[in-house]
Amino acid sequence: MRPTLVFLQTQCLLCVFVGVCVPDVVGSLPHALPWHVSCPSRCVCQIKPWFSPDSVYHEAPTVDCNDLLLTKLPLPIPTNTHTLRLQSNLLSEIDTALLHRLPNLTDLDLSQNRFTRVRTITQSSSLPSLLSLHLEENHLSRLPDGSFSSLPTLQELFLSHNNVHSIAPGAFTGLDSLLRLHINNNRLTTVDPRWFRSLPHLEVLMLGGNPVEVLPERGFQALKSLRSLVLGGMGLRSLAEKALEGLEGLESLSFYDNRLTKVPTQALRRVPGLKFLDLNKNRIKLIETGDFRDMIHLKELGLNNMEELVSIERAALENLPELTKLEITNNPRLSYIHPQAFLQLSRLESLMLNSNSLSAVHQHIMLSLPSLQEVSLHSNPLRCDCLFHWAAKEASHPHSEDTQTDARTARMVRFIQPQATLCSEPPELRARRVREVSSREMSASCLPMIPTSSLPSYVGVREGGKLVLHCRALAEPQPELYWVTPSGLRLGPAPSHASKHLPAPAPCHSLTASEGFNHTSASSASPSQDDTPCNPSRPYQLLPEGTLEMNKVTPSEAGLYTCVAENALGADTRSVTVGVHGREKKRKRGVAANIKRYPLYRADARLEVREVGQHYAILSWQTGRNFPSTRLSWQAIYSNAHTPTYTTRILAGTQSFNLTHLQAETFYRVCLHLGVSEGAKHSGRRSRESKKTHCVSFRTKDVPEPQPSLQLSPELTSTAVTLLLLALILLLLAGQGWDTEGAGKYHSTVLQDIKSPKALVVNQKTEGSNKHTPEQSDKLLLHQDC
């Protein structure tokens, strides 16, 4: 049911564009009047309402011979016939001499017949009054030069739904008055600019439904009067910069149902007069910054029914002073609209956002649209938390009076279908109407949430192809996003909260552009090589809003990628398995071959104690691989007492952790549990080795004796080192005594490292997260003091 509705809506949108929604008006006009004339047998002769192509009303003597299985013209046709309808017959040729005797023939409908050659109709007979010729749904295949030269007054020519695959350059010569040309749904594969040279007054051109994949540059340049151009359903993948050059009067343009992957911004800049633009049903993934900028006459924009659209970026629509209606609906993966996506849309009244995957519409969006009157948000998985305060029952902002006024303004906006605009998060507000939830019920904090619709759990890419992964998250405050590659590299902004005491991460010298990226070497890096967080310029590219791009993907880049969105309140993570499909022609080998080609990473990690204080210890580790579901557990060890084990989840890409709230002078055993279970369902083979545990033990520092001389002594550092060494010796003993699993292997490294601490990043800001049972969910709530 829904697709039909959508289709109808679109058709209606189109016909509004094209200006043919006249039939609605007909109902209120006088019906057919009797016409007393000798009428051909079985035909109906009446005086009927008729509109000229320029919408002037006429009372037209009409002969209606539709659906009569006619193979030739019926006789006698009254000489003052204005409209002759011969739709749905079996005509393949007609006696043109008979038509010649109808000096007032204005509208001739020959649609749904069996004409194969247009010349059989237009040949030798001049039809001096004919304004409208219908030849839809015939069997025409080619239009030779001068096909219509006997129709000098023709204003409308309908040739859609034929088999036309060839049009001679001069086919339309002589159609000086033509206003409307429909040649949609034929078999044209190219557009020849010469066709249009003889159509200086053409206003409407329907060219859709032809398998034209590439439009020529300046193809429509001759159409100086064109107002409406419909290029729907053509298979267009992109548009040359000058494809629309010269269409100075163009007001309405439809690219409905093509394969565009980007908004054809450059081409659109050549049609500054555009008022209506339909980009529905294309393969556009992102509406990017500047895609619609300075289109100063644009009134309505449609971005509906796009299977692949995931995000509307910052300043995607900017300075569109005439835009009144914006439709972005039925995009099943659209989960993110940047809070500043819409800038300077001073006249936008109607914002349709229903039936997407949006979890929220940021208050900034509402506040940035001063003329907004109505918004439709139903059929979205809305989260009724702080991001939706603007819509709450009684929007209250304790911060300032201004925001209160703003919020009230936002609240004035009418919701379309408020009864269907429901919360789907949090669970306690599920199925409540957004407009009926009070702001008190909406939580004040907004954890980052990566919508599942933007990032599937598996993405396949061809070897040598381009991999694009989109990760977006809405939260308040705005979250920071980063990616972790299969080899455990963190890509993205450096952690802003990294300790100032520690040196910045070393640049990834093993990953320079000239050498390319070698996973094997990265994973087997020698201990002296520091391949902790870095931002290689190649082959990865991280776009500002959180998209990871990679050109020329090789099989070694397959594996688990994890996106992390983090703000001061917490974090959300989501992993995607990337499979690289080989280029071999043998399809059969398919999956099996691919799995073999997965790079094999050892599930190894070097867990080290970097620094120990009285009440904290900094642990760090290195893995040659992304372990998105890693946990750290710790336990105080007393000789004769059982103590609880604490566990915390570690964010992907994190390589160190500050354990806090420890007891002084106490032995601790810490274990790192590496896991890839999250999102790795597609690589069942690896799940066997997906759990590895590495442990170390240490002792926290002693509480110093109150000795002022020691505190002021310049030898403090060396004293500390001595203390530390003491602790470490104890640790070694501890490691040998209690740890059979692995800590023993690392003692020499630990000693080395403490003496010359290397680059280290503390990514965790979990303060005192000594939480007994961690949440199994991916969401990580930080600042959870016990």
Ligand X SMILES: *[C@@H]1O[C@H](CO)[C@@H](O)[C@H](O)[C@H]1NC(C)=O
Q: In the set 11, 55, 189, 518, which binds ligand X (CB under 6 A)?
A: 518
In angstroms, what is the minimal distance from the CB of 617 to ligand X? 8
- The two tokens of residue 547 are 């998209």
In angstroms, what is the minimal distance from the CB of 772 to ligand X? 20
d(C-alpha 110, C-alpha 328), whole Å: 40
In angstroms, what is the minimal distance from the CB of 399 to ligand X? 31
SS3 assignment, position 711 = helix
Q: In the set 52, 166, 535, 660, which binds ligand X (CB under 6 A)?
A: 660
d(C-alpha 284, C-alpha 384), whole Å: 29
- The two tokens of residue 231 are 């290029």
In angstroms, what is the minimal distance from the CB of 592 to ligand X? 24
Contact between 512 and ligand X by CB under 6 A: the answer reads: no
If the CB atoms of residues 198 and 656 are measured against ligand X, the closer one turns out to be: 656
In angstroms, what is the minimal distance from the CB of 732 to ligand X? 23
Region binding ligand X by CB under 6 A among candidate stretches 24-32, 172-180, 382-390, 512-520: 512-520
If the CB atoms of residues 233 and 559 are measured against ligand X, the closer one turns out to be: 559
If the CB atoms of residues 456 and 768 are measured against ligand X, the closer one turns out to be: 768
Q: In the set 94, 762, 780, 782, which binds ligand X (CB under 6 A)?
A: 762
Contact between 103 and ligand X by CB under 6 A: the answer reads: yes
In angstroms, what is the minimal distance from the CB of 519 to ligand X? 8
In angstroms, what is the minimal distance from the CB of 500 to ligand X? 9
Residues 595-634 close enough to bind ligand X by CB under 6 A: 616, 618
User: Phi/psi zone of residue 330: left (φ > 0), alpha (ψ -120 to 50 degrees), beta?
Assistant: left
Binding mask 443-482 for ligand X (x = CB under 6 A): ----------------------------------------
If the CB atoms of residues 454 and 658 are measured against ligand X, the closer one turns out to be: 658
d(C-alpha 48, C-alpha 62), whole Å: 6
d(C-alpha 345, C-alpha 114), whole Å: 52
> Per DSSP, what are the bridge partners of residue 166?
142
d(C-alpha 138, C-alpha 92), whole Å: 9
In angstroms, what is the minimal distance from the CB of 599 to ligand X? 10
d(C-alpha 472, C-alpha 448), whole Å: 9
In angstroms, what is the minimal distance from the CB of 514 to ligand X? 11
Region binding ligand X by CB under 6 A among candidate stretches 194-202, 269-277, 513-521, 623-631: 513-521
SS3 assignment, position 786 = coil
Nearest of 205, 117, 97, 197 to residue 156 by alpha carbon: 205
Residues 163-222 close enough to bind ligand X by CB under 6 A: none
DSSP labels, 394-461: T---SS-HHHHHHHHHHHHSEEESGGG-BEEESGGGTT-BGGGS-TTTS-S-EEEE--TTTS-SEEEE
d(C-alpha 147, C-alpha 144), whole Å: 6
SS3 assignment, position 570 = strand
d(C-alpha 395, C-alpha 48), whole Å: 59
If the CB atoms of residues 103 and 737 are measured against ligand X, the closer one turns out to be: 103
- The two tokens of residue 587 are 């399809």
CB of 181 closer than 8 Å to CB of 132: no
SS3 content of the chain, % helix, strand, coil (to 5): 20, 25, 60
In angstroms, what is the minimal distance from the CB of 760 to ligand X? 8
Binding mask 53-92 for ligand X (x = CB under 6 A): --------------------------xx------------
Contact between 105 and ligand X by CB under 6 A: the answer reads: no
Around 438, how many Cα atoms within 13 Å sit in the side-chain half-sphere? 3
d(C-alpha 43, C-alpha 541), whole Å: 70
Residue type, 436: E
For 748, the enclosing helix (H) or strand (E) is: helix 747-755
Q: In the set 66, 104, 166, 693, which binds ligand X (CB under 6 A)?
A: 104
Region binding ligand X by CB under 6 A among candidate stretches 15-23, 251-259, 515-523, 696-704: 515-523
In angstroms, what is the minimal distance from the CB of 49 to ligand X? 16
Integer Rg of the chain from CA: 36
Q: By Cβ distance, which residue is nearest to ligand X?
A: 80
If the CB atoms of residues 304 and 763 are measured against ligand X, the closer one turns out to be: 763
d(C-alpha 230, C-alpha 681), whole Å: 45
Region binding ligand X by CB under 6 A among candidate stretches 163-171, 196-204, 424-432, 514-522: 514-522
Region binding ligand X by CB under 6 A among candidate stretches 154-162, 269-277, 286-294, 518-526: 518-526
Q: Interface with ligand X by CB under 6 A: which residues?
A: 79-80, 103-104, 499, 501, 516, 518, 520-521, 616, 618, 658, 660, 762
